[in-house]
Amino acid sequence: MNNRKEHFMRAVFICSALTSVLAVALICLFLFANGLPAIWEIGLGNFLFGEEWAPNDVPPSFGIYPMILGSVYITGGAVLLGAPIGVLTAVFMSKLCPKGLCRFLQPLVELLAGIPSIVYGFFGIVTIAPLIRFFFGGSGSSILTASILLALMILPTIICITESALNALAPELYDGAAALGASRERIIFAVLLPAAKSGVLAAIVLGIGRAVGETMAVIMVAGNQARAPVGILRGARTLTANIVLEMGYAADLHRGALIGTGVVLFVFILIINLLFSSLQTGGQK
């Protein structure tokens, strides 16, 4: 009886694992089967480095280079703004924060992670965009606005993973440095953060993945012009926004080009995940 129950549970676990693998395989099959023929027809160079996206022109143009630049600029700006704030917040919560205050801050950080993207988008439209327009001019819908909004959205990821990495360090590291006379700030920045660097880098890499894949909030504040960005106060369109904005009415080669955009995005995310895995492996050695 026990053997039958054990075999049954093993089959349940194997089926659960295979379901995940099957889902990934089907997504890859769909993307590459529908996207690669369109990329082949357009030409890989024209598709990746073409500077014009005009699917309704005769002949149409399907260059996604402006969207690649838009994704890189907005994600880069979000990481530049969000990573230092997230890491320093994690240091404060892990090593400097009184326990009572930490019990108050922890749920707030978790709540920040659970806020829907559309709510972030509304916040960006009614708060961040008007502030950018007031202080720097322009329409307010810009790369800078989207970067600030995404920086807020990646904070929970960076804070939680960095804090876990710091909490996992052996207490002897802190005690040994303190015994040598180092100040608390010197211990944190010269001993603890270097010791937890693989966890910190992994947190930042996952934050990049979160920012690259974000769609709805970015659409609401980024301006969405399908042309190469010319400044941080001007609008831009990301890869994800390009798919969402046009998939509703796309057909034939236009639809294939949008799925090809998804292939490029998938490869970006795959590279980020491989980088995250290598950082984790390096941290365990």
| Per-residue pLDDT reduced to its tens digit, 199-255 | 888 888 888 888 888 888 888 888 888 888 888 888 888 888 888 888 888 788 888
Q: Which helix (H) or strand (E) holds 61?
A: strand 61-62
- The pLDDT value given to residue 282: 62
The proportion of the chain whose per-residue pLDDT surpasses 90, expressed as a percent, equals 10
Q: How far is CA 78 from CA 155, 231, 273, in A?
A: 10, 15, 18
Give the N- to C-terminal CA distance of the chain in Å, as an integer: 43
62 forms beta bridges with 53
Alpha-carbon gap, residue 141 to 215, rounded angstroms: 15
Under DSSP, the state recorded for 175 is H
Q: Which amino acid type is present at position 157?
A: T
- The pLDDT value given to residue 88: 92
Q: Which helix (H) or strand (E) holds 271?
A: helix 252-284
Alpha-carbon gap, residue 147 to 141, rounded angstroms: 11
Residue 19: alpha-carbon gap to chain centroid: 25
Residues 6+ apart with CB under 8 A from 233: 132, 136, 137, 138, 142, 143, 144
| Per-residue pLDDT reduced to its tens digit, 35-74 | 888 888 888 888 888 888 888 888 888 888 989 998 899 9
Alpha-carbon gap, residue 78 to 31, rounded angstroms: 28
Q: Retrieve residue 56's tokens.
A: 């309704």
Q: How many CB atoms lie within 10 A of CB 25?
A: 11
CA torsion 130-211-242-127 (nearest 10°) is -10
| Per-residue pLDDT reduced to its tens digit, 91-127 | 888 888 888 888 888 888 888 888 888 899 889 899 9
Alpha-carbon gap, residue 159 to 90, rounded angstroms: 5
pLDDT at 279 over 70: no
| Helix-, strand-, coil-residue percentages of the chain, each rounded to 5 | 80, 0, 20
- The pLDDT value given to residue 214: 81
The proportion of the chain whose per-residue pLDDT surpasses 70, expressed as a percent, equals 97
Alpha-carbon gap, residue 205 to 203, rounded angstroms: 5
Alpha-carbon gap, residue 260 to 273, rounded angstroms: 20
